[in-house]
Structure 1
Amino acid sequence: MKQLLRIDASMRKTGSVSRQLADRLITKLADKNNYEIKLRDLTESIPFVNESWINANFTDPAERSSEQRAILSYSDALVAELKSAEALVIATPIYNFGVPAALKAWIDMIARARETFQYTENGPVGLLEVKKAYVIVTSGGTQLGSEIDFVSSWLHHILGFVGIKDVQIIDGSGLMIDQEAALNRADEKIEAA
């Protein structure tokens, strides 16, 4: 069965618009494609990269100590989830003009040389074979595509960097400006998914 990996980045488990929109999108995609859904809820503590992690990651895999393998085991599990997914849904709010810290930590855990990308003489090449990514972005006041939107283009770039080229942004921004318009705009994209 094909897998769809869902990443929830909102720190709110109840009342989260990004989670509600993801529920709608997941229902539509699962019905249409018969996906098995794997959920990664980022409220459940994603570790930050630290010096020990960096040293372990940049040690040749054949030469890693058991301690270094243990340090990388969580990251290895996240990478394995991505490698087994055919599709990806990331649902994230914008916090203070950026992604939540937990989503940044998740990206730091999965963006790994020799695992999800490699450097070549022609520059970096992504290694993931996820066919499609849907990125739901919600905000109170930051409008996607505006000069203060630092989230949508960054997510599009980092996903492409690891090999996910087909990225659809679902715009749920400006909820505190015009909630109805923001939700209608997002729902149109979800219907077209």
Structure 2
Amino acid sequence: MKKMLVVHASPRGERSHSRRLAESFLDAWQAANPDAQITRREVGRAFIPHVTEAFVAANFYPEPQSLPKVMKADLQLSDELVGELIAHELLVISMPLYNFGVPSGLKAWIDQIVRLGLTFDITQDSHGVAQYQALLKGKRALIITSRGGNGFGPGGENEGTNHADPHLRTALGYIGIDDIRVIAAEGEESDKSVFLRACEEAERQLRDLAGHF
């Protein structure tokens, strides 16, 4: 049975274009995979804690097997989010482009799931040289995004100021999720007819993808 984790990152509800596009894709995907399981994780309209000193201390505790109970509490939500990600082979992230980057709730989620010993590992070989290993290989990801302006995609005039998609590719790739597709609708803050066509094209691409994702 296919299992998909959906991370919604827009602070907006019904007015969110990225959320609407994602739900449209999920309807088509569920129709193509009626026995599949979808789990939704809200990070745009639900608070995800940012990394704290207590989190860092617990995460890098020298003897994880004897972690004090108070430190286990500091990692409780992170453990839940990591376990959720591990349990699903497909990942969908819906997000708006905010000030050239990802919304803060999504950044907080990334910081909670990039975990030493759980989603990546660093060990030493016999010569004392650090060896890095991604632990979540074999998963696939789809990023569905809306952008107020235009030209933020590959080859666009504003590509260099888009720090959202590249950030997610780097962070997810670091833990082993490097099979990533991005589908975007641009121009919300420009001509309404242009943005409508962009959304229609994004929906077409998503419908085509739904049958083989």
TM-score range, shorter chain: over 0.9
1:10 maps to which residue? Answer: 10
Q: Distance in 2 between matches of 1:44 and 1:130?
A: 29
Which segments of 5 or more consecutive residues in structure 1 lack a partner in the other structure?
A: none
**How many residue pairs align between the two structures?**
193
Counterpart of 1:149 in structure 2: which amino acid?
N
Give SS of 2:83's match: helix
Post-superposition offset of 1:27: 1.4
Structure 2: which amino acid aligns with 1:38? T
In structure 2, list runs of 5 or more residues that go unmatched. Answer: 124-128
Q: Which moved more, 1:108-117 or 1:141-150?
A: 141-150
The 1-side partners of 2:116 and 2:42 are apart by 24
Report the structure number with the largest CA radius of gyration.
2
Shift of residue 46, structure 1, vs aligned partner = 0.3
CA contact (8 A) 1:83 1:130 kept: no
**Amino acid in structure 2 at the alignment position of 1:48:** H
- Shift, 1:14, TM fit: 1.7
After superposition, residues 24-103 of structure 1 pair within 5 angstroms as 24-33=24-33, 34-42=35-43, 43-59=45-61, 60-103=63-106
Match of 1:183 among 185, 190, 199: 199
Contact kept, 8 Å, 1:85 with 1:130, in 2: the verdict is: no
d(CA) in 2 for partners of 1:10, 1:123:
36
1:125-158 Cα distance to aligned partner (Å, 9 max, x none)? 2211452111011111152232211111111121
RMSD of Structure 2 on Structure 1 (CA): 1.6
Mapped to 1, the partners of 2:91 and 2:138 lie a distance apart of 7
Choose from 164, 183, 191 the match for 1:151.
Answer: 164
Match in the other structure for 2:133: 125
* Equivalent residues of 2:97, 2:147 under 8 A apart: yes
SS of residue paired to 1:147: helix
Aligned residue identity for 1:144: G
Write out the 4+ residue segments of structure 1 that deviate beyond 6 Å after TM superposition. Answer: none
Cα distance per residue 1:17-54 (max 9 Å; x no partner) = 00100101111222223321111011211011000000
Answer yes or no: is the 8 Å Cα contact 1:82–1:130 preserved in 2: no
**Partner of residue 163, structure 1:** 176
Partner SS state of residue 75, structure 2: helix
**What is the percent sequence identity of the aligned residues?**
36
CA 1:51/1:122 → structure 2, altered by over 3 Å: closer, same or farther?
A: closer
CA distance in 2, matches of 1:74, 1:101: 17
Q: State the TM-score, normalizing by the size of structure 1.
A: 0.93
Q: Tell me how far 1:123 sits from its aligned partner.
A: 5.1
Cα pair 2:3 2:89 within 8 Å, conserved: yes
Q: Which amino acid aligns with 2:195?
A: Q
